[in-house]
Amino acid sequence: MRHLIGSNLLMTVGCGVIIEYNEQILLQHRKDHDVWGIPGGVMEPGELFEETAIRETNEETGLTVRKLKLFGIYSGDEGYSRYENGDLVYSVQIIFFTTEFSGEIIQSTDESHEHRFFSRNELPPLNQH
């Protein structure tokens, strides 16, 4: 798509999951923006929102999430972003919540430095996109 539109604005749909365990939230320290955020990523054509959330969470954390509940749908001015390479995007975010997951956390991936559970009152500054 980018070879057709260059760095012009592209609209995307992102899906993420808030994973809670023992009253703590799992966050990933991202490599691309050097910020903390919830696991998630961009929807592929033909996917359901839940499928995107499950796939992206597994790719980024190694965990398989289940019993997703809709947490919120986010749009508005905060959805605009410019990537390091100059590409412009506008992202609508579909966020889910779960306490049901299995697997072992992968600490370092192509996209993450680490994953860590934080209590709600000790959350680090979060990525807003």
Catalytic-labelled residue, pool 20, 59, 111, 114: 114
What do you get for the CA distance between the two ends of the chain, in Å?
A: 21
Environment class of 124 (CB within 10 Å of its CB; exposed 0-12, middle 13-18, buried 19+): exposed
| CB contact set of 35 (below 8 Å; sequence gap of 6+) | 29, 125, 126, 127
**pLDDT reported for residue 106:** 85
pLDDT recorded at residue 128: 55
CA diameter of the chain: 47
Q: What is the pLDDT of residue 24?
A: 95
Predicted confidence at residue 83, as pLDDT, reads 80
Q: Which two tokens stand for residue 16?
A: 């993420």
What domains are defined for the chain?
A: 2-21+37-103 (3.90.79.10)
Residue 57's pLDDT is: 95
**pLDDT tens, position by position, for the chain (129 residues)?**
677 777 888 899 999 999 999 999 999 988 777 788 899 999 999 999 999 999 999 999 999 999 999 999 999 998 898 887 888 989 999 999 999 999 999 876 777 778 999 998 888 877 655
- Picking from 95, 97, 40, the residue whose alpha carbon sits closest to that of residue 69 is 97
Residue 114 known to be catalytic: yes
